[in-house]
Structure 1
Amino acid sequence: MNNNKYASSSWLSSTAHLAWLNSQGQQLLDFAKASRLPVGFGSLDRYGQLPADALADTMNTARMVHSFALAHLQGLPGCGLLVDHGLAALLGPLRDGEFGGWFASPEGADGDLRKPAYRHAFVALAASSAVAAGRPQAQTLLDQAVDVLERHFWSDSEGALLESFARDWSDCEAYRGGNSNMHGTEAFLALADVLEDPKWLKRALAISDKVIHQQISQANDLPVEHFDAQWQPLPDYNVSKPDDGFRPYGQTPGHGFEWARLLLHLEAALPLAGLAAPAWLCEDARRLFAASAALGWHADGADGIVYTLDWHGKPVVRQRLHWTLAEAAAGAAALLQRTAEPVYETWYRTFWDYIDAYLIDRQHGSWHHELGVDQQPAGEIWPGKPDLYHAYQAILLPQLPLAPSLATALKSRVMRG
């Protein structure tokens, strides 16, 4: 955090607050351990149980590998073995042994054979964190994931990730996604650290420029989510399916908070690699956070952050999703670290107060993943509690510097003693 007299009173400097975060983190981990299946990890219901017909999910498995690798790097017993379990699944039945890349479920049992950048970005993130954690087989997975990204998804000419393909890598989708490229940026930050290759930071910067900086002034200072193959915005995309879990209609304040944080991570990482960090990274992060807070928080008259807005800033899908609050708290922490300005302290405390009051499930464990407009648990968009990744990162990010990325930062902290 910058030197500032205000910083000494910040929750980020509070021993009690940091202890509270770590306690929450341990509870999240303990709940998530029940998601283990014979192959990979599945989706838990709201009570922490796996359905009788549960299948491993590649996205969840990758997120669990990443999260348990972070926990292992913290020195939490049992988590390294869970990383190994997930790696075996990602190197085994979840991987397409014929064409390369990853199915959505073991051997494509759920019938979903398309290969999206979003899923593959999480596999790369998981592999990079497992390598940082020193787990056997992690380097093999990382080599495979990087090869797929290089061979199929990264487009030098576009300076961004292509969206998805058929199983055999034909039929490139005529759509470009802000969400997939956002998580590609996250993965690239981690790859740059683990591979010690600034190429990935340059790519993260190219994505951030295309998806955020070139669009922000025409988009209410919020991210544009959907583009055509020529990178023209698609404002009416999914207007008939506004509550889609990955490609909702309109704009998503939660992604504004998430992008704000990622831009600050990138700004901090570039100089460490001997590269220049453009001033717009911090400027756009401020704009994204301000718009997300102003338009997303209390948008319908009640506390919380609505899932989506239309292009005039009016609520469309009013459910409160847990990941938006996790990213809001992490985004506030990042801007507080970067600037030490009191407004971000206020927002940081506001978001955690909401999480404590409404999202933490003290009866059944973990966090409610979705709340209805009445602030009561719901499950229309995200049923159950399958996601450890967002909440666990929100626990860790306020405790670590903006760069290097999470796993490398935790590894460095351990090595420093």
Structure 2
Amino acid sequence: MDDASLHDAAPDDAPDDAWLDAECRRLLGFGRRVVHPRGGAAWLDDDGAPDLGRPVHTWITSRTVHVHGIGALLGVDGAASTAAGALDGLRGVLRDPEHGGWFGEVGPDGEPDDTKSCYAHAFVMLAGSTAVVAGLPGADDVLAEATQVFEERFWDEDLGRVVDEWDRSWTTPAPYRGLNSTMHSLEAMLAVGDVTGDGVWHRRAARLAGLVLELAPSYDGRLPEHFGPDWSVDLELNRDRPDDPFKPYGATVGHGLEWSRLLLHLEATLGDAAPAGLLDTSRLLFDRAVADGWHADGAPGFVYTTDWEGRPVVRQRMHWVVAEGIAAAAALHRRTGEEDDARRYAEWWAYARDHLIDLERGSWHHELDAANRPQASVWPGKPDLYHAVQATLLPRLPLAPSLARAVAMSGGLRAPA
């Protein structure tokens, strides 16, 4: 069942398409000043002003190309130039002209870091894919280079998995392996396959999903995130700093939701060729994330992480987790028509409206404390539009193709007049 009407099933207070369209455009308006003077995307503060004392990050720059490239497809004024300015950062300051690939970041002094991460390169592939669909100058070259680097450096053909990190000169891989980079590699592979027409990327995405199909039932829906070089599970990593923004200890509730959605996109993309168990695993991950993470400590909102028995560890509420919950509920409802998913969808939009959406200063608060008050212990400022923008788009689109291609095929996804 892939055509279930979410808005027919959702409670009356669920946002309609016109509201989602307006919120998407409001978010993109917040990011209109994001282009850094050196190229790429700046870190934005709470008012949307560039914080030039922070590095230019490849992952933020790539997400900026992605969301503003989609904005260009939507006809948002200024979005194409914003996306092009960020893309120039991937063609310039963030690209390593000596060894190839992309730095993780370039500091305010112009000095790059010394690591090459799979996470960042996956987002460069996503950015290149969206930029090609949006017709941005130089997009074809960025996508071609990004896919080549990824194939040569990060894709492990024998295992059907990814290498997480290299040093700057591609001499030595780091011993760490991670599920976060795996997840975003799968996302990027779906987009690359859709844009290039090369089905090898979709088949690689299916191989990556095989790891989650194994892990989810083995750990009762709580996905281990961290692994050794032989892919042995490390359940104790970062126990001493559990609120790490990229490698937190324990089960990351938002990633359970994000994987739940991505498995459904993969299933829709591959059709009859999809691996068995994608829907069942999607449901397991979703239900576990909701049971463990939502309203887990007496207040509404999703906690950031739990331990391996489902007890909250980091109780801050991150905006991206709610956005992924909204998108996952919409995807499951589209796939199954289950009324409870539509109810959850409406409930989480109501939470976002009450606690996260900042109508005074713009965008969404990126982090709340356990009492749903804005704080900035993990995520200062408002540097990222990616999750929130996608939460306004995914409920209005089919599960396949991937986002930029789907928006282009929709003719701009205009809200009803």
Report the AA paired with residue 184 of structure 1.
S
Q: Distance in 1 between matches of 2:151 and 2:357?
A: 40
Matched, 1:169 2:166: no
Q: Distance in 2 between matches of 1:144 and 1:251?
A: 34
SS of 1:136's equivalent in the other structure is coil
Partner of 2:146: 145
Where does structure 2 lack aligned partners over 5 or more consecutive residues?
none
SS of 1:115's equivalent in the other structure is strand
Partner of 1:357: 354
Partner of 2:202: 201
Aligned pairs for 1:259-278 within 5 A: 259-271=259-271, 276-278=273-275
1:254 to 1:58, Cα distance in 2 relative to 1, 3 A:
same
Partner of 1:250: 250
Partner of 1:367: 364
Deviation at 1:346, TM superposition (A): 0.9
Partner of 2:26: 27
Contact map agreement 2:331 2:395 (CA 8 A) in 1 = yes
For residues 9-60 of structure 1, give each alpha carbon's deviation from its aligned partner in whole angstroms, at most 9, with x where no partner exists: 2349999611111111111101111222112111111122223534422211
Report the AA paired with residue 214 of structure 2.
Q
SS of 2:273's equivalent in the other structure is coil
Q: Distance in 1 between matches of 2:13 and 2:369?
A: 33
Partner of 1:219: 219
Give the one of 391, 399, 415 matched to 2:388: 391
Q: Distance in 2 between matches of 1:15 and 1:321?
A: 21
SS of 1:375's equivalent in the other structure is coil
Aligned pairs for 1:181-192 within 5 A: 181-192=182-193
Partner of 2:238: 238
Q: Distance in 1 between matches of 2:165 and 2:105?
A: 16
Contact map agreement 2:6 2:342 (CA 8 A) in 1 = no
For residues 150-177 of structure 1, give each alpha carbon's deviation from its aligned partner in whole angstroms, at most 9, with x where no partner exists: 1100001121110000000122111110
Matched, 1:303 2:310: no
Deviation at 1:416, TM superposition (A): 11
Deviation at 1:198, TM superposition (A): 1.1
Contact map agreement 1:163 1:173 (CA 8 A) in 2 = yes
Q: How many residues align structurally?
A: 412
Report the AA paired with residue 140 of structure 1.
D
Contact map agreement 2:318 2:367 (CA 8 A) in 1 = yes
Deviation at 1:109, TM superposition (A): 3.5
Deviation at 1:322, TM superposition (A): 0.4
Partner of 1:95: 95
Q: Distance in 1 between matches of 2:243 and 2:6?
A: 39
For residues 340-398 of structure 1, give each alpha carbon's deviation from its aligned partner in whole angstroms, at most 9, with x where no partner exists: 11010111011111100000012111000000112110111111100011100111000
Aligned pairs for 1:394-405 within 5 A: 394-405=391-402
Q: Distance in 1 between matches of 2:220 and 2:300?
A: 21
Deviation at 1:329, TM superposition (A): 0.3
Q: Distance in 2 between matches of 1:109 and 1:356?
A: 39
Matched, 1:56 2:47: no
1:59 to 1:415, Cα distance in 2 relative to 1, 3 A:
closer
For residues 168-199 of structure 1, give each alpha carbon's deviation from its aligned partner in whole angstroms, at most 9, with x where no partner exists: 01221111100000000000000110110111
SS of 1:215's equivalent in the other structure is helix
Partner of 1:120: 121
Partner of 1:343: 340
Contact map agreement 1:12 1:398 (CA 8 A) in 2 = no
1:8 to 1:127, Cα distance in 2 relative to 1, 3 A:
closer
Q: Distance in 1 between matches of 2:167 and 2:278?
A: 35
Q: Distance in 2 between matches of 1:387 and 1:177?
A: 22
Deviation at 1:2, TM superposition (A): 4.3
Contact map agreement 1:104 1:110 (CA 8 A) in 2 = no
Q: Distance in 1 between matches of 2:6 and 2:327?
A: 17
Identical-pair percentage: 43
- Larger RCO (CA within 8 A; separation ≥ 6): 2
Q: Distance in 2 between matches of 1:312 and 1:247?
A: 19
Report the AA paired with residue 173 of structure 2.
C
Structure (1/2) with the larger strand percentage: 2
SS of 1:235's equivalent in the other structure is coil
SS of 2:50's equivalent in the other structure is coil
TM-score by length of 2: 0.95
Q: Distance in 2 between matches of 1:87 and 1:156?
A: 29
Partner of 2:16: 17
TM-score by length of 1: 0.95
For residues 222-278 of structure 1, give each alpha carbon's deviation from its aligned partner in whole angstroms, at most 9, with x where no partner exists: 22211111111100011111000000000011001000000000000002xxx5123
Deviation at 1:303, TM superposition (A): 0.6
Matched, 1:134 2:125: no
1:52 to 1:140, Cα distance in 2 relative to 1, 3 A:
closer
SS of 2:210's equivalent in the other structure is helix
Where does structure 1 lack aligned partners over 5 or more consecutive residues?
none
The range that moved more, 143-152 or 7-16, is 7-16
Matched, 1:313 2:310: yes
1:139 to 1:12, Cα distance in 2 relative to 1, 3 A:
farther
Deviation at 1:105, TM superposition (A): 2.9
Partner of 1:36: 35
SS of 2:158's equivalent in the other structure is coil
Report the AA paired with residue 342 of structure 1.
E
Report the AA paired with residue 61 of structure 2.
T
1:415 to 1:66, Cα distance in 2 relative to 1, 3 A:
closer
The range that moved more, 406-415 or 249-258, is 406-415
Contact map agreement 2:74 2:413 (CA 8 A) in 1 = no
Contact map agreement 1:129 1:407 (CA 8 A) in 2 = yes
For residues 82-109 of structure 1, give each alpha carbon's deviation from its aligned partner in whole angstroms, at most 9, with x where no partner exists: 1211121111111000001111334893
1:12 to 1:109, Cα distance in 2 relative to 1, 3 A:
farther
For residues 268-327 of structure 1, give each alpha carbon's deviation from its aligned partner in whole angstroms, at most 9, with x where no partner exists: 0002xxx51233011100100000001110111111000000011000000000000000
SS of 1:192's equivalent in the other structure is helix
1:382 to 1:110, Cα distance in 2 relative to 1, 3 A:
farther
